[in-house]
Structure 1
Amino acid sequence: MGMGMGMGMMPMHQQREGHQSQYRKELDVLINTQDHTEDLYLADNAAIFRFTSSSLFNVVYPLMASGESGFPIDGFDISTVTYQGGTIDFPLPIYVHQNRGGELEGSSYLGFTKHAYLAFAQVKHAVEGVQKARADSINTNKPGSESRDTSSDSIEAHELESGTLLTMQLQDGTSEPSEPGVDQPVKIRLTNLGEIIAIMIPVLLTSPDVVSRLQSSLRSLGDLLSINAEEKLTPNPPEFTAMVSIRTRTFQSASSSCLPEADFRPLSLSLLAHADRQISHPKVPTSTAAWDSASTATIKQRILEIQKRRERLAQEGREWDMEEMAVRVKCAKYVYTVLFCAGIVVAGGLVCGFTVGEQIAGVDPFNIAMFTWLLAGFIILVAKSIRVVEWPWRDFLLGRVTCRSLSELRDVTGANEQDLYLYLLTKESETVLITRGPYNKMFVRREEHSSGGFSIDIKPEVRTLVAAGLILVKVSMQDGSALVCLDLRRGSEKRDVRTSIRHSGNEAGDHVCRYPPRPGDRIQDVELSRAPVWAGLRWNKILGIYHAADRKVR
C-alpha cells in the first residue's frame, strides 16, 4: 500500500512545481508567438478578471471589522438608499450608501443609478429566496409544531430579539402617484448564519465601489468588442426608489443615532429613507410622529395632494420666462379679474348717476360716479402693489408680471414657497437665473452685489435641501459638533464639491455649520457658511445624517 501510494500520489510541493513549470511553458509560448487573436484573448480575460477580482475584494473587505466607528464588532448598519429628488419635470434620482464603518458616499449620475438597480434587484431576489425557504420550513415542521416545549419557544424569542434586522424596499416607476412611500418595506429578522450570508453578499453589491467597477468594466468591454456594452449588456431599469439595510441589535443599542431625542440618524432611519416626509404638508408636521400614527388611507391622501401640488407647479413653470435677474409670469386671469371688478364699480357709479338724476335734492349724482372712478383706480393700484414692488403699466395691461424675488413669485403664483425654492434650485443648470441673498448660498450662480440678481428671500427647510440633493451630515469634533454638506445635485461629479465623507477629514471652501442649533438656543436656524481654506473644519467621527426635517436653513 505504501508503494502504491508512493507511485500513485506525488508530494504537494512537486505538484506545485509541476503546475508552475506548465504555466511557465504556456507563458513562453504566448510571449514568443506573435498572434493577434491570442492578444485579444488575454485582454478579454484580463478585463473579466479585473472586474471579478475587484468585485470580490469589495464584497469581502467590508466584512472586516473597523475600529473607526467605535462600535463593537457585531455593531453595524450597512445601508443603501436611492430616492427620487428634484421636481416632476426634472427628476433627480439620488444614490447614497453607508458602509459598515458609518461612512457615507453618494451620486446623482444617471448612469450610476442605472447600474445600481441591478444590485437592488439581486437583493430583492435573495430576500424572496429567504422568505420562500422559511415558508417551506414552516410547512415541513407544521405537523410537529404542537409537540414543541416552552423552552424552545423562549430560545426562538431570544434569537428574534437579538438577531440582525434586514429592511428592504424596491418600487419602480409604474406605481400609482399615491403609492410611493406608502407601501411598508419588507422587514426580516435574520437568525442564522446561512440567511445572513445569503442576504449580506447582495447588499454589499450595492456599494459604490462595486457599481463603479461595473461601469468601468462594461466600458472597457465595449472598447474590446466594439459595441456599446452598457446598452447591449445592461437592461434599462425603470424609474425606481429603493432602500436596503442590514442593522444589528448591537448597533441599535450602542449607537446614539438611534435614540429618539437625537437630531441625527443612520441612513436607514434618516429622512432619505422616508420619501413621504421630504415634502412639507400643512396637515402633517414632520417634527412629530404624525406620519407613523396616521392610517394608510390618510397617508395616501396626503401624498396625492402633494403630488398634485407639484404637478401643478411643473405645468405652470413651463410657461415662465426666466431671465438673468427676474422671472416673468403670465397672470392674465388676475389682471382681467381686477379690471372687471374696477369696471363694475365704475359702471355702477354711472348707472347711479343716470338713474337717480334730480331725485335727491341738493345732490349731484355724477359726484357719486366720480367717486366710483376714484375707487376703481384705488382698487387697481392696490391690486398692482399688493403682490410685487414694481409692476409697470405696460406689463399689467399685457397680463404679465415680473417677479424679482422668491416671495414675489410665491405671492403671484400662490405656490408653496418650499416647492418654489426646490424648483429653482433643481432647474438652475437649465436656466440663466442669477440669484442674490440673503438665502442663496445653495445656488451656484450668485450675484455678489445686492443691486442685481433674483432675490432668494425665503429660507429653505432641511427636507427641501434633501429633495434637491443637498444632505447635511453631523460630525463630531474635539470641541463640539458641526454639520457638513454633501452636494449630490446633478453635475456634482464635474464640480469640486463633496460627494462623500469619511470619519476623519477636513472641510475647506464648502458649506458647513460650525455650531448646529441646540434645543435651548434662541435661534433655531441652521447657519451655513463657507469654511475658509486657511481654517479648514476638522472632525474625527461621523455621527449620522441630520434629521431635523422642518428646520430652516440660512
Structure 2
Amino acid sequence: MPQFDDLTAYLLTEQDARKLWREEAARLKKAVEDYDSSLSFSNKGFFDDGNEEGYKNLAKLAEMILAALSLCLLDNECIYVEFCKPLANRNRVEKLIQQARVSQTNGEWEESGQTSNRTSILDAIYSLVDYISAVLARLISQVATGRCWCDNVVAVLTQRVTKLKVLLLDMQTNTVISCQAGEALLNETDISNRLSNGILDEEECEEVLRMIDAETKEGLATAAEADAARYCVDQNRLRSGIDTIIRYILLSLRFQNRSGLSGTSFEICGMVYETGVEDFKALLFQDLDLEYSASSDQDTLNTAYSAFSILNRIMTQIDEKENGKPPKSSQTNKSLQTTVEWTYLEADKNNSCPNPATGLVYDASQKKCLVAVRAMEDIITAMIPLLLTSPMAVANLTSYRTMMALTSDTQNSVRPFKEKNYTAFFRMYTNKFEDDSKTWDVMRLSTAVDKQVFSRCALISGKDFSKRSDEKMAAKMAEVMQEMDRWVIDETGVTVACKFQVCSVLIVAFIIAGGGLSIMATGNRITGVDPSNLSTYLWVVAGVYLLICKSRFVEDWPWSDFLHFRVRCRSVSELHNISGINEQFIMAKLLHDERGGSELKTRGPYNKAFLQRDSADGFSIDCPLQMKTLLLSGLIMLKVVTPRGHALVCLDARRGTELKVVEHQGNQAQEHLICEDIHKLQDRRGQKKTEDKSRLQLMTSRELKWKRVQGVYSDMNAEFV
C-alpha cells in the first residue's frame, strides 16, 4: 500500500522515520494521557516580550509551517494521482505546486536574512509545531472516545508533525524535490478536475468508492489496484480534518491585516451564552481579522466545551504565573500590551452557573478574570487554544468526528462524551486595538456582552433591567415560558387556552342578564315601567357585550372555541391581546421554534426574518421586529462597508445552525438577510429631527457586495420592517 506522509523521498531511511515517529508518538501520548499536566509554548531563545517584533516573528514562523504543510498536501495528492485517480484533482495539484514555489521564496528569505539565527529559528518552529500538535491531540482525545477515533487520528497527527519537522530542515531543497515529483506526475498522467478539492466530505468519498467498485466489476482495475484506491479514500478521510484545522490555525497566525488595522491591533473574542427561549445556546466568535462566525448546533457546542475547558486550564496557569512575577517598571504607556479576560463556568462545578430550577443564567458581563500577558511565550500559549474555540475549527472537528463515526465498525465505534452545561467568555486584545476602536460607531462582540445586549432577561424586564434582581427576572421568564409551551401551533395560527378571559366575559354578561331576570320579579311594583321590556333591553346589552368582547381580542372567534375556553390567533397582535405577553417575546419564540420543526407559516407585513413565509393564509407578523428581539433569537446584525456606504448583514445563529460566517469581501453564493443603505435612512431621520425609532427595511439577497465587516450594529432601538 502507498505510504502517506512518506519521508523516504527526503533522504531518510525507513528506520530513521520509524524512530522519529516513535518519539513524536510518545510526546503526543503524554499530552493526551497526562491531562493534569500543563501545556505551554516554551522557547526563550527566540521570543522575548510581547512586542511588535514578537508578533512579526510569530507570523513568519506560521508562514514557514504553512509552506511545509503545502508540501505535505502536495505529496499526498501525488499518491492520489498515482493510485486513486477519481480522488485526484489537477487544479489542486497545480495550486499546491504554486504554493510550494512560494515556500521556496520563504526559504531563500530565511537563508539570506537569518543565517546566524538559523538554529534558534528552527528551534522556535519546532516548539510551535509541538505546541499546536499537543493542544490539538488533547482536544481530539476529549471530543470523543473509541479506539477508531483516538488511536487513528493521533497516529495521523504524529506522521504529519514528523514530516513537517523533516521538511522544515531544508525548505529550499525539499520544495524542489516535491515540486519536481508533482510536475512529473501531471505530465505522465491524465487526470480531470471533476472533484472540487482534495478534502472530501463523506458523500464524495462514497461516490469515489462506488466508482472504484464499478471499475472493478467492469474489469478496468485489478483487485490490488482497487484495494490501493480504497486505502487512499480511507487515508483521505483520516487526514482531512487534521489538515483543515492545522491550516486554519496557521492562517490565523499570519496576521494578514484584513480588517485594515495593523497586525498588532487586534481583538479575539469567543463566547458561549444562553439566550432566547428554552435552552437555546450559541457560540459566537470574533477573529483576528474582525470577521464573525457562529454556531448553535448541539454537537458543535459539545465539541466547543472541550476546547474551552482546555483554554480555561491554560489561562489559569498563565494567571498564576503572571501573579508570581514582579511588576515591570520599564513598561510605558506607548509600549504594546496584550491582555486576556475571561469567564468560564460549568453547571456541575460552580453554584453560580445556570440553575435548572429557575432558568437563571450567569451574566457573562460580570466577574471576569483579567491578566496582562507580558511574555510572547504566554501570548502564544493562550492564542492557540483560543483560536481552536472558533466555530470554524470546532464545526470542522465535529464534522470530522461524525465522518469517522459513520465509517467505524461496531466494535470500534466513535462515541461523543456527554453534553455539559457551561458558559464561557474569552477575549484577547491589545491596548493598540483599544485605542483604535474608541471612535467606532459599532460594537465589538465584547462591548455587546458588557452592555448585556445578549441577555435573555432584558426583553422581559424592559428598560429597568439593571434595577431588578436576576432571580425575579428568571422566575418571570420561566412563568412566561411555561405558558407559551401550552400553545398549539399549526400552519396558519396559534391556539391558546383562555379560560380566564372567557370566564370574566361570561360572568359580566350573566350579571347583566341576571339583572334583567331580577327585574321580572318586581312585577307591577314599579309604576310606569314594563319589567319585560327592561329585561329584554338588558339581555340585548349582555349579548352586545359578548360580541364586543369577542371582537376586541381577535378578528374571528367561533362560538365553539369560545365555549371550549380557547381562541385561535392569526397575528402577533391578537396573540398579545389574549396572552398579555410582550409582542417582541412572542416573535422571539416563533423565530426560535421555526428552526425546531415548527409548521407555522407567516405572512407580512414584517415577516422578512422568518424562513417559512410568502403564505397568503399564514400567521400575520404585524409588529416590527426590534433589535433586541433579533439578538435574543440568534440573529446578529453586523454593519458592513459597501461601495455605496454602509449596510447591515445578518449573522444567523438560530437554533441548529452548524456554521455561519460573515467575512470581509462578502460571498455572493450565500443568501443573507440584509438592510441596504442604512446611512441614507439615518440621514433622512436626522433631517426630520424626529425622536422616533429608526425603521430599517429588511430583505433577503445574494447580490449585496461588501468590502469589510465593521462590527455589531449599535442602535438597540432600531426597528426592522
Q: Pick the TM interval, shorter chain.
A: 0.7 to 0.9
Q: How does 1:44-63 map to 2 (within 5 A)?
A: 45-46=155-156, 49=160, 50=239, 55-63=245-253
Q: Relative to structure 1, is the Cα distance of residues 344 and 448 closer, same or farther in structure 2, using a 3 angstrom cutoff?
A: closer
Tell me the distance in 1 between the aligned counterparts of 2:487 and 2:715. 33
Of Structure 1 and Structure 2, the greater strand share is in 1
Q: How does 1:137-156 map to 2 (within 5 A)?
A: 137=325, 155=330
Q: How does 1:308-457 map to 2 (within 5 A)?
A: 308-355=475-522, 357-428=523-594, 429-449=596-616, 452-457=617-622
Q: State the shift of 1:454 in Å.
A: 1.0
Q: State the shift of 1:368 in Å.
A: 3.4
> Does residue 268 of the first structure (1) align with residue 446 of the second (2)?
yes
Q: State the shift of 1:200 in Å.
A: 1.9
Higher alpha-carbon deviation: 501-510 or 456-465: 501-510
On the 8 A contact 2:342/2:427 being kept in 1, the answer is yes
Tell me the distance in 2 between the aligned counterparts of 1:175 and 1:252. 31
1:166 alignment partner in structure 2: 340
Tell me the distance in 2 between the aligned counterparts of 1:127 and 1:385. 61
> Does residue 102 of the first structure (1) align with residue 212 of the second (2)?
no
Tell me the distance in 2 between the aligned counterparts of 1:327 and 1:553. 23
Q: How does 1:463-482 map to 2 (within 5 A)?
A: 463-482=628-647
> Does residue 512 of the first structure (1) align with residue 674 of the second (2)?
yes
1:34 alignment partner in structure 2: none
> Does residue 175 of the first structure (1) align with residue 354 of the second (2)?
yes
1:79 alignment partner in structure 2: 269
> Does residue 540 of the first structure (1) align with residue 707 of the second (2)?
yes
Query: Of 636, 640, 653, which residue of structure 2 is paired with 1:488?
Result: 653
On the 8 A contact 2:492/2:618 being kept in 1, the answer is yes
Q: State the shift of 1:405 in Å.
A: 0.9
Q: Relative to structure 1, is the Cα distance of residues 227 and 379 closer, same or farther in structure 2, using a 3 angstrom cutoff?
A: farther
Tell me the distance in 1 between the aligned counterparts of 2:527 and 2:714. 74
Question: What code does the residue aligned with 2:390 have?
Answer: S
Tell me the distance in 1 between the aligned counterparts of 2:472 and 2:153. 56
Question: What code does the residue aligned with 1:426 have?
Answer: H
Q: State the shift of 1:121 in Å.
A: 1.1
Q: Relative to structure 1, is the Cα distance of residues 529 and 43 closer, same or farther in structure 2, using a 3 angstrom cutoff?
A: closer
> Does residue 460 of the first structure (1) align with residue 625 of the second (2)?
yes
On the 8 A contact 1:180/1:276 being kept in 2, the answer is no
Query: Of 498, 502, 526, which residue of structure 1 is paired with 2:696?
Result: 526
Higher alpha-carbon deviation: 372-381 or 70-79: 372-381
Question: What code does the residue aligned with 2:381 have?
Answer: A
On the 8 A contact 1:264/1:543 being kept in 2, the answer is yes
2:303 alignment partner in structure 1: 115
Q: State the shift of 1:156 in Å.
A: 5.4
The structure whose RCO (Cα within 8 Å, separation 6+) is larger is 1
Tell me the distance in 2 between the aligned counterparts of 1:205 and 1:43. 17
Question: What code does the residue aligned with 2:697 have?
Answer: E
Q: Deviations over 1:160-199 (max 9, x none)?
A: x952221212233453344521742222232333432332
Tell me the distance in 1 between the aligned counterparts of 2:293 and 2:250. 19
On the 8 A contact 2:492/2:602 being kept in 1, the answer is yes
Q: Relative to structure 1, is the Cα distance of residues 41 and 342 closer, same or farther in structure 2, using a 3 angstrom cutoff?
A: closer
Tell me the distance in 2 between the aligned counterparts of 1:441 and 1:308. 32
On the 8 A contact 1:271/1:549 being kept in 2, the answer is no
On the 8 A contact 1:440/1:456 being kept in 2, the answer is yes
Of Structure 1 and Structure 2, the greater helix share is in 2
On the 8 A contact 1:387/1:408 being kept in 2, the answer is yes
Tell me the distance in 1 between the aligned counterparts of 2:354 and 2:684. 43
Q: Relative to structure 1, is the Cα distance of residues 228 and 211 closer, same or farther in structure 2, using a 3 angstrom cutoff?
A: farther
Q: State the shift of 1:216 in Å.
A: 4.5
Secondary structure of the corresponding residue to residue 265 of structure 1 = coil
Question: What code does the residue aligned with 1:164 have?
Answer: T
Tell me the distance in 2 between the aligned counterparts of 1:25 and 1:462. 59
On the 8 A contact 2:267/2:429 being kept in 1, the answer is yes
On the 8 A contact 1:169/1:244 being kept in 2, the answer is yes
Give ranges in structure 1 of 5+ residues lacking alignment. 1-15, 32-39, 142-151
On the 8 A contact 1:219/1:229 being kept in 2, the answer is no
Query: Of 253, 256, 271, which residue of structure 2 is paired with 1:66?
Result: 256
Q: State the shift of 1:311 in Å.
A: 2.3
On the 8 A contact 2:454/2:632 being kept in 1, the answer is no
> Does residue 193 of the first structure (1) align with residue 193 of the second (2)?
no
Tell me the distance in 1 between the aligned counterparts of 2:625 and 2:649. 17
> Does residue 551 of the first structure (1) align with residue 718 of the second (2)?
yes
Q: State the shift of 1:352 in Å.
A: 3.8
Q: State the shift of 1:96 in Å.
A: 1.9
Report the count of equivalent residues: 485
Tell me the distance in 1 between the aligned counterparts of 2:621 and 2:291. 33
On the 8 A contact 2:294/2:660 being kept in 1, the answer is yes
Q: Deviations over 1:56-83 (max 9, x none)?
A: 5443432222132111221001111222
Secondary structure of the corresponding residue to residue 371 of structure 2 = strand
On the 8 A contact 1:168/1:187 being kept in 2, the answer is yes
Query: Of 204, 207, 214, which residue of structure 1 is paired with 2:397?
Result: 214
Question: What code does the residue aligned with 2:508 have?
Answer: C
Q: Relative to structure 1, is the Cα distance of residues 276 and 500 closer, same or farther in structure 2, using a 3 angstrom cutoff?
A: closer
Tell me the distance in 2 between the aligned counterparts of 1:213 and 1:361. 90
On the 8 A contact 2:339/2:373 being kept in 1, the answer is yes
Tell me the distance in 2 between the aligned counterparts of 1:21 and 1:172. 47
Q: Relative to structure 1, is the Cα distance of residues 25 and 118 closer, same or farther in structure 2, using a 3 angstrom cutoff?
A: closer
Give ranges in structure 2 of 5+ residues lacking alignment. 1-8, 20-78, 80-149, 161-238, 348-352
Q: State the shift of 1:467 in Å.
A: 2.0
